Amino acid sequence: MEAVPSREIADMAGQAALPRKNGELVFDEAWQGRIFGMTVAMSHDASFGWSEFQARLIDEIARAERVGESSSSSYYERWLRAFERLLADKGLLDAAALAERTHDFETGRRDDVF
Amino acid sequence: MSHHHREPESILSLRVRALESLLVEKRLVASEAVDRIVSAYEEDIGPHNGAKVVARAWVDPAYKQRLLADGTEAIEELGFGGVDLRVVENTPGVHNLVVCTLCSCYPHALIGLPPTWYKSFEYRSRAVREPRVVLREFGVELPENTEIRIWDSSAELRYLVLPERPAGTEQLSETELADLVTRDSMIGVAVVRPPRAEVGAASRRGAGAE
């Protein structure tokens, strides 16, 4: 059941609307699909409500525009920031741990592939 | 999708991998669930948007007029776009059928991914040559004097069939109506059926006029 697309997510409107081409979702890079999938999975598992995430996404999009961030910073970069913020707000993610883990991947100390 | 050559990985990609590795470790997500979700959303947008357009046209005659006059603009009113669209209306004397004889042009934005048969050579050729037979195979029996119009989709212009609203649905809300509208009915290989509970009522009234 969890893989059935939810209309609440698929039909988000306005600036939060998922990027599409010909109606199909577009993930320009693999990581965009992963971050999308993680967010949806955690909302299905009730780690948070979709509206909680959506509010932060809208917020991040507005902030990016306020500070005149280049439009090349993608929708999913804003999504990633919103997701990280939500996890931090929920006490589910420690910023230092994420920085350290990212460093591990960067230097090749870790190489798990998802 | 996946890149086999090895490029320096972007910092964003590294960060997302780190994030997934942490969340998996904490058992907050399972990577297989993420896989399933991504493919489900990539593949199954479904006919939901088109159904909304049809239901709106059924309940709002002014919208229907705009939709038939300029499909592209009218679907934008409902927030759907990215496609040049012409909507063709089924009436008691006219049945419309959409095909793409050259490839598989299809209004994805409104009705999701095309079914395999739509892309098949058999459908693409026979829909034009013997539409009545093809429709019968899909379970649509049309009266002899019903005119069948074939619309050949192209990259420039896509077609959507506005099916007839089934009898006995006067009490239904727009949302309930949208639930009745199937993908196939918007391609023209099916008619929209009334909800099950209504079928009995319709036959009680003697639906022989069908």
Q: Do A2 and B33 touch (CB under 8 A)?
A: yes
Reported as a single tens digit per residue, the pLDDT across B128-173 is 999 999 999 999 999 999 999 999 998 889 999 999 999 999 999 9
Residue-range domains of chain A with CATH:
7-106 (1.10.472.20)
Kindly tell me if the per-residue pLDDT of B6 is higher than 70: no
Radius of gyration of chain A (CA): 15
Q: Do B38 and A23 touch (CB under 8 A)?
A: no
Q: Pick the most confident of B11-15, B60-64, B97-101.
A: B60-64
Kindly tell me if the per-residue pLDDT of B7 is higher than 80: no
Number of Cβ within a 10 Å radius of residue B173: 10
Between CA B64 and CA B56 the distance in angstroms is 8
Helical H runs in chain B? 11-25, 31-43, 48-59, 61-69, 71-77, 108-111, 116-119, 121-129, 131-137, 174-180, 183-187, 196-204
B48-209: which CATH topology? Nitrile Hydratase; Chain A (3.90.330)
Kindly tell me if the per-residue pLDDT of B207 is higher than 70: no
- Name the residue facing B28 among A4, A40, A42 (closest C-beta): A42
pLDDT, mean over chain B: 85
Reported as a single tens digit per residue, the pLDDT across B22-69 is 999 999 999 989 988 887 777 655 677 899 999 999 999 999 999 999
Beta carbons of B21 and B14 less than 8 angstroms apart: no
Active site residue B100: yes
pLDDT, mean over chain A: 87
Kindly tell me if the per-residue pLDDT of B113 is higher than 70: no
Helical H runs in chain A? 7-10, 30-44, 50-66, 75-89, 95-106
Kindly tell me if the per-residue pLDDT of B85 is higher than 90: yes
Reported as a single tens digit per residue, the pLDDT across A87-99 is 999 999 999 999 9
- Residue B82 falls in which region: left (phi positive, over 0), alpha (psi -120 to 50) or beta: left
Structure ipTM: 0.92
For chain B, the structural domain boundaries read 11-43, 48-209
Between CA A76 and CA A19 the distance in angstroms is 9
Reported as a single tens digit per residue, the pLDDT across A71-81 is 656 899 999 99
Q: Do A33 and B42 touch (CB under 8 A)?
A: yes
Active site residue B103: yes
Q: What is the pTM of this model?
A: 0.54
